[in-house]
């Protein structure tokens, strides 16, 4: 059986929070809860006078990878609406191969 997941390249996340909004709307998630939440990490001093600030979309336990949408041949709402196109949906094996050489990626594959 093929396992599916999300590949998130947070190097390109702009913190627009569109994924949060469409997920809440798609699943009617109440205020104070999220199916995916964009977390900000930093800023902290990096090199010289530059600082690093990362935005990392983190799926929560409420994320079901939009099973209903996927069953209809659609992408999960967060992937479909991601403005920076930093999220991909697909088989975990294929997504894992895409992670090679991308140090700022995370793979979410619920059991």
Exposure letters 9-18 (e unless 16+ CB within 10 A, then b): bbeebeeebb
Its pTM stands at 0.86
Q: Quote the CA–CA distance of 49 and 40 in Å, as a whole number.
A: 20
Reading the block at residue 99, the tokens are 């992670």
For residue range 19-45, list pLDDT tens digits in order: 999 999 999 999 999 999 999 999 999
User: Quick one: pLDDT band at residue 1, thresholds 50, 70, 90?
Assistant: confident
Map out the domains of the chain with their CATH numbers: 4-108 (3.30.70.20)
pLDDT value at 2 more than 90: no
Which phi and psi (to 5°) does residue 55 adopt?
Answer: -115, 125
């Amino acid at each position: 059986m093929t396992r599916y997941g999300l590949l998130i390249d947070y190097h390109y996340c702009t913190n627009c929070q569109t994924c949060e909004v469409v997920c809440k709307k798609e699943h009617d998630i109440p205020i104070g809860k999220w199916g995916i939440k964009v977390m900000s990490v930093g800023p902290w001093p990096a090199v010289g006078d530059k600082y690093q600030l990362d935005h990392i979309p983190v799926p929560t336990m409420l994320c079901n990878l939009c099973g209903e949408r996927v069953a209809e041949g659609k992408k999960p709402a967060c992937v479909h609406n991601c403005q920076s196109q930093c999220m991909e949906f697909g088989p975990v094996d294929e997504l894992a191969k895409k992670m090679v050489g991308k140090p700022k990626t995370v793979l979410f594959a619920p059991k």
